Amino acid sequence: MKFFKALFGLTAAAGLGALAGVLFAPKKGSETRKDLAKKQKEYEKKLKKEYNKSIDQVSEEIKKADKKVSEAADNIRNEMKDKKV
């Protein structure tokens, strides 16, 4: 029961806070939406850049690992050939 009272209190407080924010906002809603859209595009651009950077780093690490595995496989093949002779 305490949980539901606390949940109701938090929900009511959040709703009142949002209402107060809208009523006392220094900008018109259309201006705020434009600002939010602009920020969203900026963050989206940054996120894509970081994503691509991460993909490049992972690809580079995969290439390095593939090279090491290939070298190890070649070494094993050479050792096996040497032992058969």
Sign, CA dihedral 68-73-78-80, equals positive
Q: How far apart are CA 1 and CA 9, in angstroms?
A: 12
| pLDDT at res. 47 | 94
Regarding predicted confidence, which is higher, 26 or 62?
62
Task: List, for residues 2-48, the tens digit of each pLDDT value.
Answer: 777 888 888 999 988 887 877 777 778 788 788 878 989 999 999 99
Q: Where are the domains of the chain?
A: 2-84
* Cβ-proximal residues to 32 (8 Å cutoff; 6+ apart), any chain: 25
| pLDDT at res. 85 | 53
SS3 string, 24-59, reads CCCCCHHHHHHHHHHHHHHHHHHHHHHHHHHHHHHH
Please check the confidence at residue 51 and state whether its pLDDT lies above 70.
yes
